[in-house]
């Protein structure tokens, strides 16, 4: 698997003053982990964004710190962004030991085509987007694929218990939780207003009114003497 590397430097600027770093294209980061002292670092923002795009929160990153000889093996644990601008604010990295199992959230990817979807009234609903797994850092999958080709009828579902994980990977979710199911789309029928019934009496009254509205005929002037 391709190794992902990230360069970092020790950070002396702390607290609210870190906003000045961001203006210079630098993002404050922290490294923490079991049995290690938390470390304040900083990374070039553009490079950090490229690394995060490749690693997500499941890939191992070799974090090279300026004054350390060996890189640290870390994973992105929390990424804070500006809600309006989408820019990076802060990143927390968790330092892992390659010989110790860790808990991690892995995205679920639905693959295949459910035969039930040939019926236009049905839809495929994904009920769970990630799985909680436990494994060694080197065994963390980028994602877990769920084949939906077995879904042929309405209300059929795939549950956690149906997933066979790779060797060395343990799924922590409740086995009965649904991952995906075939749902029936609710079609809302638009009410068409019903035309009011016209009675015979109303028809007669309308005809009389129309007759009265006609101009009267001029009297016959060709009388006989």
Per residue in 185-223, pLDDT tens?
876 556 656 555 556 666 566 666 665 555 554 445 444
Q: How confident is the model at residue 83 (pLDDT cuts 50, 70, 90)?
A: confident
Q: What pLDDT sits at residue 13?
A: 82
Report whether 72 contacts 31 (CB < 8 A): yes
Which one has a higher pLDDT value, 144 or 199?
Answer: 144
**102-184 shares the fold of 4-95:** no
Is the model's pTM score more than 0.85? no
Architecture of domain 102-184: Beta Complex (2.170)
Q: What pLDDT sits at residue 14?
A: 86
| Separation between Cα atoms, residue 44 and residue 27, nearest integer Å | 6
Architecture of domain 4-95: Beta Barrel (2.40)
| Chain mean pLDDT for the chain | 86
What is the distance, to the nearest Å, from the Cα of residue 142 to the centroid of all Cα atoms in its chain? 16
Cα–Cα distances (Å) from 6 to 12, 28, 70, 73, 89, in that order, read: 19, 14, 13, 10, 17
Averaged over 26-48, what is the pLDDT? 93
| Separation between Cα atoms, residue 158 and residue 148, nearest integer Å | 8
What residue spans define the domains of the chain? 4-95, 102-184
Q: Quick check: helix, strand or coil at residue 211?
A: helix
Please give the DSSP secondary-structure letter assigned to residue 143.
Answer: -
The proportion of the chain whose per-residue pLDDT surpasses 70, expressed as a percent, equals 82
């Amino acid at each position: 698997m391709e190794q992902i590397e990230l360069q970092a430097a020790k950070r002396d600027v702390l607290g609210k003053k870190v906003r000045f770093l961001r203006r210079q294209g630098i993002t404050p980061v922290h490294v923490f982990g079991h049995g290690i002292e938390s470390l304040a670092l900083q990374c070039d923002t553009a490079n950090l964004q490229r690394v995060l795009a490749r690693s997500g929160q499941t890939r191992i990153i070799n974090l090279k710190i300026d004054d350390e000889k060996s890189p640290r093996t870390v994973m992105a644990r929390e990424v804070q962004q500006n809600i309006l601008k989408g820019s990076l604010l802060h990143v927390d990295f968790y330092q892992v030991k390659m010989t110790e199992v860790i808990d991690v959230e892995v995205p679920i990817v639905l693959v295949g085509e459910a035969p039930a979807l040939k019926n236009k009234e049905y839809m495929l609903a994904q009920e769970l987007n990630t799985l909680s797994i436990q494994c060694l850092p080197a065994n963390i999958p980028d994602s877990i694929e769920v084949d939906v080709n077995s879904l042929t009828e309405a209300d059929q579902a795939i549950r956690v218990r149906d997933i066979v994980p790779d060797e060395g990977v343990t799924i922590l979710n409740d086995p009965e939780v649904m991952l995906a199911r075939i749902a029936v789309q609710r079609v809302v029928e638009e009410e068409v207003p019903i035309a009011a019934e016209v009675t015979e009496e109303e028809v007669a009254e309308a005809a009389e009114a129309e007759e009265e509205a006609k101009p009267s005929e001029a009297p016959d002037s060709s009388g006989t003497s």
